[in-house]
Structure 1
Amino acid sequence: MSTPPTGDEPVRVTPGWLALREGADAAARAPELLDPLRAYLAQTAPERLVIQDLGCGTGSQARWLAGRLRGPQHWILRDRDPDLLVHAGESLPGSASDGGPVTAETRQGDLTDLRAADFSGTSLVTASALLDLLTFDEVDDLAAACVEAGCPALLTLSVAGRADLTPAEPLDAEMTGAFNAHQRRTTGGRRLLGPDAPAAATKAFEHRGAVVRSSPSPWRLGADSAALTEEWLRGWVAAACEQRPDLTAEADSYLRRRIRACEAGELEVVLHHTDLLVLPPRKAAA
């Protein structure tokens, strides 16, 4: 989940936030989706994998995945933020799980303009924490492009609309509902999918004959992740109050209590996400 934007500003994240969340992201991604992905790539991919990472940020998805796949790899790292691309291009691991070389290039641009031709020669399309920031039409276009190009896709860490805080408080449910509504808001003329993204993506890919496997990928935050939990809490509450200003009167004291509990090592948070593995229909992969 990216740091929530405000108003009609585009979503923008900082390298600091991405670095803070990288460990939780890595621990959350669903490893059970990798075996069927590896099997598919072993049957269909050429000697060198070409992997396109959409909305790559500083490259955390590539750092997590490159060492879990075999063989030579070339990563095409795509993002609209040139500063993030600099970090991404400089930080990939140098080798795959079997020692094969890993190379990378960066491409800046609008991810919503990609079509099947942009994925020509691509072995795998991947993205992390991206789908919930797209509209239904944008996800549908992505599905069409991947299936037409015959590309599998690994789409990780889409928000699922649930946050479980322990110990619980009565205001948790209202904050969660307001945050989810904020994630689904219309901004700049675009209605974002938010927690509806995994279901929308599944429908879009399956409609085109692809096989979609899903798996939960929750963040599990406790005493060892206090800095991340506090930063997430501040963004979560701020977004909820932006959506529902009537919560503001209670939000300050709520946030103070939650941060005190976090600093004392007494707060646990399970923030639910969903990972999707998409395998194209046989006729598209041929």
Structure 2
Amino acid sequence: MNEIIEVSSDWLALREPEDARARSRELAVAASGLLRPGPVEVHDLGSGTGSMMRWLAPLLPGPQTWVLHDWNPDLVELATNGAAPLDRDGRSVAVRTRTGALGALDAGELDGASLVTASALLDVLTFEELRAIARAIIAVGCPVLLSLSVTGDVLLDPPDPRDAGVAAAFNAHQERLVGGRRLLGPSAAALAQLVFREAGWNVRTAETRWRLGPHEPDLLEQWFDGWIDAALEQRRDLEGECAAYRALRSGQLRRGALSAVVVHADLLAWP
């Protein structure tokens, strides 16, 4: 995987509480029930600063070891700063880290895994990278929990006739070519489901939603700015129309009169 999509640690920190609220606890509990008795080793792909570990470790039995895989060594270093999270029984988890290209992942790198996880990763993969990662997981034969893949569905309140055009441009941007790589964007979760079902695996899914509003204005503002900026990068012809649209939405945001639902999908697969 030619990893060229930069994600800032500040953005990851800002979104972490909403990610934690949105992820499917039901699928997490189901994943816990699929674990074999004994020590648990979780491999977290695209781990970033470790938010998935901090959310999921307290829901799983121990003793736990987490292996954090990410291409960005700076984010991995942040993930290991501070106290390690506790497992369901109150014991500190052990943490190991690996940096490297996720698209080149093979079964050997997942050796010993009890569970593979990822959060907000699938949509920045190509289909070839998704298939390679799935093949490695299938070869190891352990469950996989994939959280917070964007679906492209966004609901703004109050609604505006221009919402649909901006959303379509944003979704096209999510499927753009980056360094010769065609990103999966909103189709990622459905394709992941297909790949695992074709391998004969069981699959459960859950719709998971960010609910942004006046209670977290900074996250709503940064999400909205990024959403419309990406749409305009994809469709420069929308600039004139979107100037008034951005001004309207920014005013609503400042008054606490804007909210947004951003729909994601979580997926649990097992042999």
- TM > 0.5 between the two? yes
SS of equivalent to 1:163? strand
List gaps (5 residues or longer) in structure 1.
Answer: 1-7, 281-286
The reply on whether 1:276 has 2:270 as its aligned counterpart is no
Q: Pick from 77, 83, 89 the counterpart of residue 98 of structure 1.
A: 89
Is 2:29–2:59's contact at 8 Å kept on the other side of the alignment? no
Counterpart contact for 1:59–1:91, Cα < 8 Å: no
- Paired residues, number: 270
Amino acid at match of 2:16: E
- 2:166 is the counterpart of 1:175: yes
* Residue identity opposite 2:215 in structure 1: D
Q: Does 1:125 align with 2:119?
A: no
Could you say what secondary structure the match of 2:215 adopts?
helix
Deviation (angstroms), 1:91: 4.3
The range that moved more, 129-138 or 86-95, is 86-95
Question: 1:225 Cα deviation (Å)?
Answer: 1.1
> Does the CA-based 8 Å contact 2:57-2:88 persist in structure 1?
yes
The equivalent position to 2:7 in structure 1, one of 7, 13, 20, is 13
CA deviation map 1:82-115 (0-9, x unaligned): 1111111124644211123301011111111101
Q: 1:92 to 1:74 in 2, by over 3 A?
A: farther
RMSD (CA atoms): 1.4
Does the 8 Å CA contact 1:233/1:255 hold for their aligned counterparts?
Answer: no
Name the aligned partner's letter for residue 128 of structure 1: S
Opposite residue 12 of structure 2, the aligned amino acid is: L
* Mapped pair 1:23 → 2:17: yes
Partners of 1:244 and 1:157 in 2: CA distance? 26
Give the gaps of 5 or more residues in structure 2: none
Instruction: Confirm or deny that 1:244 pairs with 2:241.
Output: no
Q: How far apart, CA to CA, are the structure 2 residues paired with 1:190 and 1:92?
A: 37
TM-score w.r.t. the length of structure 1 is 0.91
CA 62–122 in structure 1, closer or farther in 2 if over 3 Å, else same? same
Q: CA distance change for structure 1 residues 70 and 262 in 2, over 3 Å: closer, same or farther?
A: same
Aligned-partner Cα distance in 1 for 2:221–2:4: 23
Q: Which moved further from structure 2: 253-262 or 11-20?
A: 253-262
In structure 2, how many angstroms separate the alpha carbons of the residues matched to 1:272 and 1:84?
26
The one of 63, 66, 78 equivalent to 1:75 is 66
1:213 maps to amino acid: R
Q: CA deviation at 1:205?
A: 0.7
**Residue type of the alignment partner of 2:28:** L
- 8 A contact 1:160–1:273 mirrored in 2: yes
CA distance in 2 between counterparts of 1:101 and 1:191 reads 40
**Any idea what the Cα deviations from partners look like across 1:146-188, whole Å, max 9, x if unmatched?**
1111121110000011110000111100000000000011111
Helix, strand or coil: the match of 1:17? Answer: helix
Shift of 1:252: 2.4
**What's the CA shift for 1:12?**
0.7
For residue 226 of structure 2, the aligned residue among 230, 235, 240 is: 235
* AA of the residue aligned to 2:205: S
2:179 and 2:236 map into 1 onto residues whose CA distance is: 20
Name the SS of the counterpart of 1:218 in structure 2: strand
| Secondary structure in structure 2 of the residue aligned to 1:90 | coil
Q: Which residue of 2 aligns with 1:263?
A: 254
**TM superposition score normalised by structure 2:** 0.96
**Matched residues in 2 for 1:91 and 1:17: separation?**
19
Deviation for aligned residue 1:34: 2.1
Aligned-partner Cα distance in 1 for 2:116–2:82: 19
Give distance in 1, aligned partners of 2:247 and 2:58.
Answer: 40
Aligned residues of 2:175 and 2:185 also touching (Cα < 8 A): yes
For 1:155, what is the secondary structure of its paired residue? Answer: strand
The alpha-carbon distance between structure 1 residues 260 and 70, as it changes in their structure 2 partners (threshold 3 A), is same
